[in-house]
Chain A
Amino acid sequence: MSNNLRFKTSKFIDETYRVSFKFNNKTYFGFKGDTLASALLANGIHLVGRSFKYHRPRGIMTSGSEEPNAIIQLHDNSSRTEPNVRATEVEIYEGLVASSQNCWPSVNFDIGGINNLLSPILPAGFYYKTFMWPASFWEKYEYFIRKSAGLGKSPKVADPDIYEHKYIHCDVLVIGAGISGIMAAKMAAKNGFKTLLVDEKSYLGGSSIYDNSEFSKINNQITSSWLEKEINEISKLENLEIKIRTSVAAFHGYNFLLARENLTDHLPINQRENKVRQRLLKIRAKKVITATGSIERPLIFHNNDRPGIMLSSAIKRYIDLYGVACGENNILFTNNDTAYETAMSLIQRGIKINAIIDNREQIDSKISYEVEKNNIKIYKGYTVVDTYGYRRINKISIMKLSKDGQTVIGDKTKLNCDCLGVSGGWTPAVHLFTQSGGKLKFREEDQVFIPNVYPSDQISIGSCNGDFGLEEIIKNTLSSIKKFLDIDNSEYKTVETISGLNQSKRNIWLLPSDKSIGKTKSFVDYQNDATAKDIKLALREGFRSIEHVKRYTTTGMGTDQGKLGNMHALGIISETAGTKMGEHGTTTFRPPYTPLTFGTIVGRNVGEFFDIFRRTPIHDWHVANNAEFENVGQWKRAWYYPKDNENMHQAVQRESKAARDSAGILDASTLGKIDIQGTDASEFLNRVYTNAWSKLAIGKCRYGLMLNEDGMVYDDGVTTRLGENHYIMTTTTGGAANVLGKLEDYLQTEWPELDVYLSSVTDHFATISVCGPNSKKIVSKVVPDLDLSDEKFPHMSFKNSKIDNIKCRIMRISFTGEHSYEINIQANFGKSVWEKCMEAGKDFNITPYGTETMHLLRAEKGFIIVGQDTDATLTPIDLQMDWIVSKKKYDFIGKRSLYRSDTIREDRKQLVGLLTENPEEVLEEGAQIVADIKKSPIEMLGHVTSSYYSPNLKKSIALGVVKGGKNMLGQKLIIPMENKNINVTVADPVFLDKEGERLNAKL
């Protein structure tokens, strides 16, 4: 069968290069240059899938990205497996494996086909209406639906391919390399514009490149020959970059576009090694020329979905470009002249055409006369009323249209065929234009939406602008590009065109049948099985907005995004509702125009490059010493250091005991550090912190609390006065960038009169905190020049010093309640100083501890962690930190909010300590806190924010927020858990050493 379907006359097919591939487990052959669709058609295969709802057999319908039916799974069962691929877009290569989607158990025997028989009870909105109740039935429905539904399988293992992103900046971007795109690119490049020309196909020239008809000529040459010379010329232009296999997915504002460049998908798998598969191009163009062409419209008639029913233009492309005949007994069905071009292509190769059915009564064009001369019967004023054949069309029946085109009259004639080419005219591909924010207008004469208002520096040309005739396309392209680029020289002298077509058309959105509408299946959306009947039903049920009708009937919601049927849906709506086309607008075309792979979207940001992470200068030491890490913002922080086979709990218990009993060491380099200088630095701190800063002496440190203007705690940290006009502020690890941003905001916008300069120095310093009763002895060994006596170096003070002649800053500050020091040194010396401390602390069992132990130690002291114990709903008063809020200061950020009616409520959630009745019981962070579990609903009083087992206190401790907690000291509360209720007592949040004896102990 297959031999007489291939005509070896196409220069796009390499007949010397045979390619074998597998489809549905069977091996076939095609040629290099074939798409999967053209190769299947050459093998006589039309049936490639099943529709989504009724599981009707479906065949290849188109030859491009608008394909609704030939949706396949590529690379079965491999790591590259990819669902929802259009067979019309896949270039075949040796070893390609593909299979039909959405058919089970096989495309020829599909169990879901029973839905087709049930279709009288599966109208629009059926799923909405039926499966919503009774709810208990859902499980039964679900089994049935899931089994038969589904659009492909996703891969189960990691993608082996490489993807990347690339930025491109150009003066002019031309989208689409059809005849007008080629001309525009040449004009732009030759006039000095840096130009990029992209096309989604593997070749340039669009549909004109295989237009070998005597009926369309440019300067007395066959169109394809003229165009080839043009392509030859532009491919040598220095100013012009050309990218094929590149489809623009999104056209955003300010001429920012995303395109996907396919680099290896057409190669055999073994040639793809170490090559980038797809590239996401991020294009910023000064000017954009959209030349995306148009998409042929199908016709909407009863049973218009059988395999073998195709767009007429697709039949032409398959024969002219791939040398493939889609059928041996063809019928064309049209309402305009373009089907006659297809007829001429078939006639040239001697392929049989049984008839042409034309909706028009009068046909007056050179090309139609030529077709008639070839003894082909043209049924003028006729329509197809039904089609026959299950897995492939074998017959149609036709009838005469009434004058108004709303009914059929006369006798029914049956005609045989194995392929029916349909043409309902053309729809400009305005998707990208509307994505960019462009506004359309409706042109009554030929019922098309065309670009009207451009939102950016862009223009649409060619048939996407509604210019369909060859003469019109060329004339308008020349004049509008000259104007758009503001150039005098168009690079073209005179361009003479001859066309045998005229633009007459008889547009009937829904063709009538001898059957009543209720008995017809005229598909508007092939993939989702939405029929004209469904749209009419939706209107009867009261839907009016196109967006609602779309969702209710699922019209245009398939992977083809309504590229084929959207206009018909609009047409049927306005005909039925008696409104004018254009009044309803169109549905919104959203990016991407064609689907993008996830690989393309993420590019190189996979695995360890998924997100940026920051390492401290001491990171390698932590790794070498078995640390487990936790992510804090973008930082990798040492979490705990398990010894032998310790679990986290055991390690933390050991670390926190050592820190209080002898010495602990913490890498605190991640703390945010902001260098503050300027004559108004003190005044600035006064305004941003809740407490007073003017009287802080040089060389002293102070803890500060920062609020938002709404009075809620925003950040905290210790700030040190280094000089008269010089401070260094520390922030929380996670808050550093935001704090700097906030401070800059106030400085630049509210207080520009202040002489203050801010600089982030977080990465410049390594920060090592040594704490515990032996910390003094250890630090004195590391910094021998420094007098560490309490008199010379008291708590909350700072000294400049040197370690091995390297300048360092040492603060005596504590986040653990222990005597402790913080060594700040130039980052690249961080690791060596850390090692020095370890060496000096050897005799004192100096123990490195991570963030978990740090959290435990500070919780014993009742120190908050902003972001863990607070959540932007707590004021300092709520946190029982009244002591840090200055009463004297006239103003600071957030002050006024501290006495709003809401912030002074007594029953706000307030920070408290929680002790469990059973001291071994450790609460879960986030657990709810209640008082009365008998009352329903149970009133939620608050939740646990921090919880640990303290080895130093030998009991469980927790912090939490509780409504009115401040006045509940000693009160019993309940933490209800899944299996039990845990009794707790409200306690002071400071569990250990409230008097600060450890901090001030003489060492």
Chain B
Amino acid sequence: MAKKFDKKTYLKWFESMLLMRRFEEKCGQLYTMQKFGGFCHLYIGQEALLAGMVSAMHKDDNVITAYRDHAHPIALGTDPKLVMAELYGKKTGTSKGKGGSMHMFDKSKNLFGGHGIVGGQIGLGAGIAFAEKYKGTKRVTYCFMGDGATRQGILHETFNMAMMWQLPVVFVIENNGYAMGTSVERTSNVTKLHELGESYDMPAMPVDGMSPEAVHEAFAKAAEHARKGKGPYLLEMRTYRYKGHSMSDPAKYRTKEELAAYKKEDPIEKVREVILKQKYATETALEKIAEKIQKQVAECVEFAEQSELPDGSELYKDVYVQKDYPFLKHY
């Protein structure tokens, strides 16, 4: 498979996945040090999904996802400083400190958000695609959801209409095996999640989500299908989150062996091996990239820490588009 992708792609994957990884590791540390509050759901282990999507997608395609969303903007090219500032609740953040960890949006990258209500974005993703079809564009929408989210009723209503109306949407299940402490096996008799589209005749496939090559090919195929006007596609990405559900979850419901097995498939390590084997870069060159990323992450923290907190009065902005909306007094 290695030959299908060139040196540039591998190096790009390496760099972007390493940035996501180091950024998230830093988030974990900072959260533990109580530098910022709220929930903190890390993407560590799942990076190949985004690396493979980005290399396969068209630049102006749309993305929407759930609350495990720090890495999506970073992969799409949002300045990670702004993501870090949002986590800190600073006014320089992607949502001016109003959304926080679970709500990363970047309109300039067609990132329609991180969403905290499990499953809510499934319908929204189809709606975004509906608008593209309506306007007659060629843009595809990638709509991410967790394995747990697939058990919400909205999936069925959305799948049905998206198929009936042939919407240009690719549904992407980030199947990391667990919804909080509940394994996929404990949430349904149907554990092959790509089969969920079958009653709506939605084309689908399972994908090795630890392999950026496989992920890229799946996205490319599904997006082409949608872009040609043939309607939705469902991708079940088999992946793993190395950390707990959130920072407060000790993840006692799974075994060390299971985690170790996935870590052996670590996408960053695998890409590194290809790069070295194919002599796309030397060990020293990769070290340099790692150092650069380390520095970049440190700059994110510095930027976030030095940015100002928003003023409380900003609370009344962005609630309505109407500028002089008459809010009620609350004290």
Chains A and B are bound partners: no
Query: Which B positions have Cβ atoms within 8 angstroms of A?
Result: none
